[in-house]
Amino acid sequence: MNFWENVLERIRKGKKLHFTLVDPVKQGGIEVDEIAKTAQRAGSDAVMVGGSTVRDRKDVYRTIEVIKNSVSLPVILFPNSAAGISRNADYIFFMMLMNSRDIRFVVQEQIKGALLIKKWNIKPISVAYIIISTSRRLTMVEKIARVKKIRNEDTRKVVSCALAGQYFGMQSIYLEAGSGAKRPVSSKIISAVRKETELPLIVGGGIRSPETAKEKLTAGADIIVTGTIGEKDPEMLKKIIWAVKYFKQ
Ligand code: 1GP
């Protein structure tokens, strides 16, 4: 059973998972190897590598190299474009940005990267990626990806995007508030998507406490992603991971 099959099996059994996001471009804060070690020790299930401002795959390569030298967790690419694809990753979230106005993020960058993914034998996991604008201040991903705004109250729009992703045959749905978002995706949206779709549900952006993580899991998230908190506060990262690992409905 490979990593993703194992993820699916655990979700089927009602287990919840945590993925740790590392941005290869962000400077400052805790070093990547320390974040990865803390994540692995606490029980996080994978490291995702990517960020909205990645331009050079060498940065991604180096970051993954550091991670691979520090921990044994699987590495999943979380690319902003074909430039985010690096040969030393295990998996790639092969994402369609469901609410972008820019065809690059809907399908063109994916076409650009497809042959590399094949050549480097990186295993794709397709994702219906939905960016939700949770506060007035735009997140980096909203600025760059030219999103068609969906607000944190627009439950129907999100469910519609998620269902479209399911009908396209995607393997998962990702509800994203954007890295460093002031507020995470609303629990109302999460429960609505949970109710109307069957795919594994990934939720990330603005999750900075175990309480928030638990609230999102109770609403129906299967996988919690955190990025920023790991760069700033390893103790809090640990607590969030434990909250996910020992979560009981
Ligand atoms: C992953 O972009 C998020 O979905 C990460 O967000 O950096 O706010 O944890 P944070």
Output the CA–CA distances (angstroms, integers) from residue 217 to 40, 170, 221, 247, in the order listed. Answer: 20, 21, 5, 8
Q: How far apart are the first and last CA of the chain?
A: 27
Give the chain's radius of gyration (CA, Å): 16
CA of 182 to the centre of ligand 1 (A): 11
CA of 206 to the centre of ligand 1 (A): 6
What is the average per-residue pLDDT within 220-236?
97
Among the listed residues 218, 105, 55, the one whose alpha carbon sits nearest the alpha carbon of residue 203: 218
* Rounded distance between C-alpha atoms, residue 204 and residue 178, angstroms: 7
pLDDT of residue 29: 86
Pocket test residue of 176, 233, 244 for ligand 1, highest count of atoms within 8 A of CB: 176
* Rounded distance between C-alpha atoms, residue 151 and residue 53, angstroms: 23
Q: Which atom of ligand 1 is nearest to the CA of 184?
A: 8
- The band of 26, judged by pLDDT with boundaries at 50, 70 and 90, is confident
What is the average per-residue pLDDT within 10-16?
97
- The band of 104, judged by pLDDT with boundaries at 50, 70 and 90, is very high
| pTM for this predicted structure | 0.98
Where does ligand 1 bind, in terms of residues with CB under 6 Å? 21, 176, 178-181, 204-207, 225-229
CA of 94 to the centre of ligand 1 (A): 17
Mean pLDDT of the chain: 97
* Rounded distance between C-alpha atoms, residue 190 and residue 167, angstroms: 18
| Model confidence pLDDT, tens digit, residues 153-164 | 999 999 999 999
pLDDT of residue 22: 97
CA-nearest residue for atom 4, ligand 1, is 204
CA of 132 to the centre of ligand 1 (A): 12
- The band of 249, judged by pLDDT with boundaries at 50, 70 and 90, is confident
CA of 208 to the centre of ligand 1 (A): 9
| Model confidence pLDDT, tens digit, residues 63-101 | 999 999 999 999 999 999 999 999 999 999 999 999 999
Domains of the chain in start order, with CATH, are: 16-243 (3.20.20.390)
Query: Is residue 27 over pLDDT 80?
Result: no
CA-nearest residue for atom 2, ligand 1, is 179
Residue 184 CB burial class (10 angstroms; 0-12, 13-18, ≥19): buried
206 secondary structure, DSSP code: S
CA of 9 to the centre of ligand 1 (A): 25
Q: Which atom of ligand 1 is nearest to the CA of 206?
A: 8
Q: Which atom of ligand 1 is nearest to the CA of 231?
A: 7
